[in-house]
């Protein structure tokens, strides 16, 4: 008898969702073979068995969540398996990880009906696909086909009638145990007026959980500064002149590089608030927020301070490409110590971002605007390219004066861009 | 547009084909007798014995002559009176007609058309068979089996224009089927399926005579509010599943109706393609309606138990729809 446990796939991962089981009870599983798909922070991964044996029990059905280290399945005739060790990333245990060896009871989904694993339900392929696309749990749908098979029309009816179902009976999707969010259900207006409830995708649920945690635990403060981008734009033009379109350096690449260089001098802004105190992270890993149709991801440019501007740009392009293709792995999403979020392309003047836990700060970047400014001793009015940048920082770690100096350093680097190339 | 029987449409097509001086017809009883089903009646008188050649009972010889003539630049039409007799010519068809183009490096093509018929009605076990899947199994052949008079004519002329050997499958029970047929020389391309009837509840994929039985079944079911969409494949090789898949993605349910045995038959290929390319759209297992798997009995009451009937198509559709 051996246990398969929820692996720790990222330094801030506390629990994982079983998306689906790839093996069923009674299947023989070879060591290294994928047994289930799990979803962690913004990424879906296959987990492999670390032992050979017959799958004798599925403890955590599809759709349920299990803390890191918790038993998700058992195998017979194999040795006990612990979850693989977390990859070497800056350790920042925001929430205490469950002891790996202790069999922790899986977090049961709130709705008892939802414990029916989707794979055990008899449903036609199109019914399964429609349920998947609409985030419905097949275990909650009545099947009208032969031998109770769930067919297309059953799912159509469930989609059409969902508000009524949600209001009266158990929630359709397993309710997320998001810690201190106010209960939503009682506040909902009656489902009568044709309103529909779109269940949270796993990405949406992750965003909900993490940003709610950030908003409720990290006291945010904000500092905005205008940066004169003329020099940066001129330098960018010079750098890009001989480069092909695919190799061009973006303004965002320069801002990421400036942040990385500034963070070297301001370690508090590259820190994490942990129970024991303030953890000064050894690496400077800059997350870049990438908007997707389905939500938001923030892949990480590792060691951004020691990469050249060109290397930052190349890595950024690679990660954005992976994000758009839905191919980001856990390794691309973990270990960020600071985030840059840029809404300049939408014409935003300036905005305030929410800190990504367990980071200390996030820089919100607006559009580069061409506006008149006073320049020089004669106070000539000239055209300048101005970009407003706003830092959101965790007041538990740093204060306004340090935050202002940090933003000033970013401003100085961008206004004297050669200094960040040396 | 004139309304013709399948027989008349084929006669028109054959006359159009004979306008090409390279064309001749060879087969058993096609000249003096005017062919078993009357399709070449009057042809001997009109075109003479050089071009309308009565052959001895020697199917391999008929195909062999046609293959050699085609390689030499003629446009032969080989008639095999019943598909059951084609077994005697299988080596010619499969090892020669289908292979020559590729085995001679493309230097020779074999532009022949082999006309033959499926069918039954108390013809007993050896004369009531269908070998559609055996022909359609072979790369190098094209296999067509039209259902309507218009398609019979248009696809026959397409077969005549085709550079490869084409097996043109008719049906003994269809020569009297009527329909509108365009006049003159016109072509219905090989390898293009078509909707025979629109509906939204279930897709029937079929070809040849089974199109007509499926249309009858659809009429019966329409009275119960079931709207059946029917896809006429028309060509078995190359098999065009685009219309069937488009329909299946709309209805999510399918019945495949073919007049041959189920095991390893054409319906197996058709259903598999639906599963392969339409899996995520599937709402119920696909049903097949075919001959029962026995040698065809002679006795009429037993024969009726083996062949495909409208009732069996209706029952299969209701089963897929989970209706009783």
The 10s digit of each residue's pLDDT in B164-201 is: 999 999 999 999 999 999 998 899 999 999 999 999 99
A376 touches chain B (CB under 8 A): no
Residues of chain A scoring pLDDT < 50? 78-118, 163-188
The hierarchical CATH code for the domain A2-76 is 2.40.50.100
User: What is the model's pLDDT at position A93?
Assistant: 39
Comparing CA positions, the residue from A372, A368, A375 lying closest to residue A389 is A368
What sign results for the dihedral spanned by CA atoms A69, A70, A73, A75?
Answer: positive
Comparing CA positions, the residue from A175, A168, A158, A172 lying closest to residue A191 is A168
Catalytic residue among B59, B79, B229, B269: B59
Name the more confident of A110 and B204.
B204
The hierarchical CATH code for the domain B3-180 is 3.40.50.970
B251 to chain A: nearest residue by CA? A152
User: What is the model's pLDDT at position A174?
Assistant: 38
% residues pLDDT > 90 (chain B): 99
Of B280, B281, B322, Cβ closest to residue A145: B322
Q: What is the mean pLDDT of residues B140-149?
A: 98
Residues of A in contact with B283 (CB under 8 A): 124-127, 151-152
B279 to chain A: nearest residue by CA? A125
The hierarchical CATH code for the domain B194-320 is 3.40.50.920
Say yes or no for a CB contact (<8 Å) between A127 and B283.
Answer: yes
Q: Is A134 one of the annotated active-site residues of the chain?
A: no
Q: How far is Cα A403 from Cα A387, in angstroms, rounded to an integer? A: 18
Residues 329-348 in A contacting B (C-alpha not used; CB under 8 Å): none
Q: Which of A143, A144, A152 should we substitute to test contact with B (largest number of B Cβ atoms within 10 Å)?
A: A152
User: How many angstroms separate the CA of residue B204 from the nearest CA in chain A?
Assistant: 19
Q: How far is Cα A52 from Cα B94, in angstroms, rounded to an integer? A: 50
User: What is the model's pLDDT at position A279?
Assistant: 92
CATH of the structural domain A112-201, one choice from 3.40.50.620, 3.60.60.10, 4.10.320.10, 3.60.15.10: 4.10.320.10
Is the predicted pLDDT of residue B304 greater than 90, yes or no? yes
Say yes or no for a CB contact (<8 Å) between B279 and A146.
Answer: no
Residues of B in contact with A126 (CB under 8 A): 252, 280-283
Say yes or no for a CB contact (<8 Å) between A145 and B282.
Answer: no
Catalytic residue among B15, B21, B79, B127: B127
- For every residue of A299-349, DSSP letters joined together read -EETTTTTS-HHHHHHHHHHHHHHHHTT---HHHHS---EEEEE-GGGT--
CA-only gyration radius of chain B, Å: 20
Residue A44 phi/psi, 5° resolution? Answer: -105, 130
Task: Mark out chain B residues that contact chain A at CB-CB < 8 A.
Answer: 252, 279-284, 322
* CATH class held by domain A218-420: alpha beta
Say yes or no for a CB contact (<8 Å) between A124 and B282.
Answer: yes
User: How many angstroms separate the CA of residue A243 from the nearest CA in chain B?
Assistant: 44
Comparing CA positions, the residue from A366, A422, A356 lying closest to residue A11 is A356
Sole residue written with tokens 């989609």 = A159
Name the more confident of A132 and B285.
B285
A125 touches chain B (CB under 8 A): yes
User: What is the model's pLDDT at position A66?
Assistant: 84
Residues of B in contact with A124 (CB under 8 A): 252, 282-284
User: What is the model's pLDDT at position A107?
Assistant: 40
A132 touches chain B (CB under 8 A): no
Say yes or no for a CB contact (<8 Å) between B283 and A125.
Answer: yes
**Do residues A51 and A81 touch, judged by C-beta distance below 8 A?**
yes
Counting one residue from A and one from B, how many pairs have CB atoms under 8 Å apart? 28
Residues of A in contact with B281 (CB under 8 A): 125-126, 129
Residues of B in contact with A127 (CB under 8 A): 283
- Beta strand segments in chain B, E: 3-5, 23-27, 52-54, 75-80, 113-118, 142-144, 166-171, 178-180, 194-197, 202-206, 228-232, 235-237, 254-261, 287-291
User: What is the model's pLDDT at position A97?
Assistant: 39
pTM (predicted TM-score)? 0.54
Three-state DSSP state, A228? strand
Residues of B in contact with A155 (CB under 8 A): none
Comparing CA positions, the residue from A118, A91, A75 lying closest to residue A8 is A91
A152 touches chain B (CB under 8 A): yes
User: What is the model's pLDDT at position A119?
Assistant: 53
- For every residue of A262-304, DSSP letters joined together read HHHH-GGGGEEEETTEEEE-SS--EEE-EEETTEEE--EETTT
Instruction: Kindly list the domain boundaries of chain A, sorted by start residue.
Output: 2-76, 112-201, 218-420
B324 to chain A: nearest residue by CA? A146
Say yes or no for a CB contact (<8 Å) between B279 and A144.
Answer: no
Say yes or no for a CB contact (<8 Å) between B283 and A151.
Answer: yes
User: How many angstroms separate the CA of residue B52 from the nearest CA in chain A?
Assistant: 56
Say yes or no for a CB contact (<8 Å) between B283 and A152.
Answer: yes
Q: How far is Cα A10 from Cα A39, in angstroms, rounded to an integer? A: 11
Residues 264-303 in A contacting B (C-alpha not used; CB under 8 Å): none
Residues of A in contact with B280 (CB under 8 A): 125-126, 129
Residues of B in contact with A151 (CB under 8 A): 283-284, 322
- Asked whether the domain spanning B194-320 has the same topology as the one spanning B3-180, the reply is yes
- Burial track B6-32 (b if 16+ CB lie within 10 A, e otherwise): bbbbbbbbbebbbeeeebbbbbbebbe
User: How many angstroms separate the CA of residue B227 from the nearest CA in chain A?
Assistant: 16
How many C-beta atoms lie closer than 10 Å to residue B143's C-beta? Answer: 25
Sole residue written with tokens 């105190």 = A277
Say yes or no for a CB contact (<8 Å) between B322 and A125.
Answer: no
User: What is the model's pLDDT at position A37?
Assistant: 84
Residues of B in contact with A129 (CB under 8 A): 280-281
Instruction: Kindly list the domain boundaries of chain B, sorted by start residue.
Output: 3-180, 194-320
């Amino acid at each position: 008898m051996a246990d398969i446990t929820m692996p720790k796939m990222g330094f801030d991962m506390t629990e994982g969702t079983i998306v689906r089981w790839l093996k069923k009870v009674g299947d023989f599983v070879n060591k290294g073979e994928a047994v289930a798909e799990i979803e962690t922070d913004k990424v879906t991964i296959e987990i492999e068995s670390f032992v050979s044996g017959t799958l004798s029990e599925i403890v955590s059905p599809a759709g349920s969540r299990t803390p890191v280290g918790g038993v998700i399945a058992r195998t017979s005739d194999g040795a006990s398996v612990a979850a693989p060790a977390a990859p070497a990333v800056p350790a920042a245990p925001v929430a205490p990880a469950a002891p790996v060896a202790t069999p922790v009871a899986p977090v049961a989904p709130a709705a008892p009906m939802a414990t029916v694993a989707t794979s055990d339900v008899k449903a036609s392929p199109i019914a399964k696909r429609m349920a998947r696309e609409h985030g419905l749990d097949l275990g909650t749908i009545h099947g009208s086909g032969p031998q109770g098979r769930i067919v297309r029309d059953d799912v159509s009816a469930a989609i059409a009638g969902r508000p009524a179902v949600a209001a009266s009976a158990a929630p359709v999707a397993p309710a997320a145990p998001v810690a201190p969010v106010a209960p939503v259900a009682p506040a909902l207006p009656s489902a009568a007026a044709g309103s529909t409830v779109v269940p949270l995708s796993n990405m949406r649920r992750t965003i909900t959980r993490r940003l709610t945690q950030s908003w409720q635990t990290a006291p945010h403060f904000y500092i905005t500064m205008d940066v004169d981008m003329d020099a940066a734009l001129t330098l960018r033009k010079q750098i890009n002149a001989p480069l092909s379109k695919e190799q061009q350096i973006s303004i965002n690449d320069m801002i990421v590089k400036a942040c990385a260089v500034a963070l070297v001098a301001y370690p508090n802004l590259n820190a994490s608030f942990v129970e024991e105190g303030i953890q000064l992270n050894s690496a400077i890993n800059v997350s870049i927020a990438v908007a997707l149709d389905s939500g938001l991801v923030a892949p990480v440019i590792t060691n951004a301070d020691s990469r050249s501007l060109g290397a930052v740009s190349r890595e950024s392009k690679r990660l954005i490409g992976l994000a758009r293709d839905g191919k980001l792995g856990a390794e691309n999403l973990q270990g960020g110590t600071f985030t840059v979020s840029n809404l300049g392309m939408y014409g935003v003047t300036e905005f305030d971002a929410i800190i990504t836990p367990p980071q200390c700060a996030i820089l919100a970047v607006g559009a580069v605007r061409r506006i008149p400014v006073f320049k020089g001793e004669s106070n000539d009015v000239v055209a300048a390219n101005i970009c407003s940048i706003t830092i959101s920082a965790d007041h538990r770690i740093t204060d306004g004066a340090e935050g202002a100096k940090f933003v000033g350093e970013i401003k100085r680097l961008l206004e004297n861009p050669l200094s960040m190339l040396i | 547009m004139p309304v013709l029987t399948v027989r008349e449409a084929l006669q028109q097509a054959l006359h159009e084909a004979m306008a090409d001086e390279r064309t001749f017809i060879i087969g058993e009883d096609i000249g003096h007798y005017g062919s078993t089903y009357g399709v070449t009646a009057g042809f001997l008188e009109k075109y003479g014995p050089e071009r309308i050649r009565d052959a001895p009972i020697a199917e391999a010889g008929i195909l062999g002559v046609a293959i050699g003539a085609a390689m030499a630049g003629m446009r032969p039409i080989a008639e095999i009176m019943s598909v059951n007799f084609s077994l005697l010519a299988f080596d010619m068809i499969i090892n020669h007609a289908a292979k020559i183009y590729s085995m001679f490096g493309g230097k020779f093509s074999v532009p022949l058309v082999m006309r033959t018929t499926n069918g039954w009605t108390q013809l007993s076990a050896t004369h009531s068979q269908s070998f559609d899947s055996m022909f359609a199994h072979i790369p190098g052949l094209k296999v067509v089996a039209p259902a309507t008079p218009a398609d019979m004519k248009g696809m026959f002329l397409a077969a005549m224009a085709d550079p490869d050997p084409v097996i043109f499958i008719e049906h003994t029970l269809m020569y009297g089927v009527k329909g509108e047929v365009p006049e003159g020389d016109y072509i219905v391309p090989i390898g293009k399926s078509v909707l025979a009837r629109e509906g939204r509840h279930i897709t029937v994929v079929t070809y040849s005579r089974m199109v007509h039985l499926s249309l009858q079944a659809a009429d019966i079911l329409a009275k119960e509010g079931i709207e059946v969409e029917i896809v006429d494949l028309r060509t078995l090789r190359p098999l065009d599943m685009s219309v069937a898949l488009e329909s299946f993605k709309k209805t999510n349910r399918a019945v495949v109706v073919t007049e041959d045995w189920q095991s390893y038959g054409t319906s197996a290929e058709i259903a598999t393609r639906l599963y392969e390319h339409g899996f995520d759209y599937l709402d119920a297992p696909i049903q097949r309606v075919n001959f029962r798997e026995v040698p065809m009995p002679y006795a009429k009451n037993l024969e009726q138990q083996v062949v495909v009937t409208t009732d069996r198509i209706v029952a299969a559709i209701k089963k897929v729809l989970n209706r009783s």
